[in-house]
Chain A
Amino acid sequence: MLYAYAVVDSNRKIEDRVEGIEREAVRNIPCREIGLAVGEIEGTIDGVDGSRALKHEEVVEKLMEKFTVLPMRFGTVFPAPADALAALESGYDLFRRNLERVRGKAEWGLRVIWDGGKTRDRLANAPGPPPALDATSSRAKQYLEKKRVQRRLERAFAEEAEEHIARVDGFFAGRVAEKRLEKLKRDKLLLNAYYLVRRESQSDFIKAYQRLRRESGDLRFLLSGPWPPYNFVERPRAPARGAAD
């Protein structure tokens, strides 16, 4: 079986020894101007294994030092080189376009943590419009009023979360090539942001992050990078359904 690590922007042989998840040598299967970095493994990948996932990432990062890469999802295997080649051919134009998009850039991830529970409590205790009820209101009216208040709180919560997100994201304006924001707005996790950053802009990006931390006492952050551009690859078609689905 051939285990696939990444689509690379080269049809050349991989000169340096790169060891894969089973310590196999990683090689390149060329297809016109690009290639697929693969390793020969025994059997298939039939489960999620932390050390293998780390190794997958390590291989992609090593490839990233030499090539522009589109990382493959963990667990992608092909029975034979011809199958890998067919996959490359079928997505060739998309791969080329994506390789150009991410060339010279890396992904950075930012998770933003907040105390959403505290925000909810504050909003719930804030003075709101007077209730449209009196002592003679029916149960139905009371129910509707309760729902109205809940909706108002949810709206206020979402607006406040949105304001925080816009403020956080604003620190990186002009410093990133592309971004993906997962606005989670959960009680603990506010946002997962993924930024595609030009290599020459990374120092500026990190400075912006440091400023964000200094100026955001109520929020906490997890910044990681530089990563291969996992979050910035387009899918060729509908995702494959694996045997375990």
Chain B
Amino acid sequence: MEHKVAIKSREVTLLEVLDRVLNKGVVVSGDLVISVADVDLLYLGLKLLLSSVETMERLRGAPFAGAGEEPT
């Protein structure tokens, strides 16, 4: 996509995806729908996210300046 921001860490991408696909989106009620248990991934995810941010800093050897970096 035109403005897709380059998130360079696969970990961060996965966590952003998990935060959305597991916690958000359309939920249809009814017995016929089997949904994944509401894992408290928001909280868990954020802890992991922050730890991955720190990992990224170490890997880059430079202060973290936003995983978004410059838009492509």
The proximity string for A residues 217-234 relative to B, scoring 1 for CB distances below 8 Å and 0 otherwise, is 000111111111011010
Pairwise interchain contact B3-A203, C-beta atoms closer than 8 A: yes
Binary per-residue interface labels of chain A (41-68) against chain B in the complex, 1 for a CB within 8 Å, 0 otherwise? 0001101101001101100010001000
The binding surface of chain A is classed by DSSP as mixed
In residues 30-64 of chain B, which contact A (Cβ within 8 Å)?
A: 30-39, 41, 46, 49-50, 53, 64
Residue A170 interfacial (CB < 8 Å):
no
**A223 touching B36 in the complex, CB below 8 Å, given contacts A48-B18, A53-B17, A240-B28:** no
Contact of A113 among B35, B37, B50, B71 (CB under 8 A): B50
Interface size on B, residues (CB 8 A): 44
A14 to chain B, nearest CB (A): 18
A230 touches which one: B20, B32, B35 (CB < 8 A)? B20
Chain B contact surface mostly: loop
Chain A contacts of B24 at CB under 8 A?
A: 71, 73, 230-231, 233
Cα A228 to Cα B17 with chains together (Å): 11
In the assembled complex, the CB of B31 is this many whole angstroms from the nearest CB of chain A, namely 8
The answer, yes or no, to whether A96 is at the interface (CB within 8 Å) is no
Interface 9-mer from A74-82, A133-141, A149-157, A158-166? A74-82
Given contacts A74-B25, A231-B24, A240-B27, contact A222 B36 (CB under 8 A): no
| Interfacial residues, chain B to chain A (CB-CB below 8 A) | 1-5, 7, 12-14, 16-18, 20-39, 41, 46, 49-50, 53, 64-68, 70-71
Enumerate 30 A-B pairs (CB-CB under 8 Å) in ascending A order.
A45-B36, A47-B36, A48-B36, A53-B14, A53-B17, A53-B18, A57-B20, A73-B22, A74-B21, A74-B25, A75-B22, A86-B32, A111-B46, A188-B50, A202-B2, A203-B3, A210-B70, A221-B68, A222-B49, A223-B68, A224-B16, A225-B5, A226-B3, A226-B4, A230-B25, A231-B20, A233-B24, A237-B29, A239-B35, A240-B35
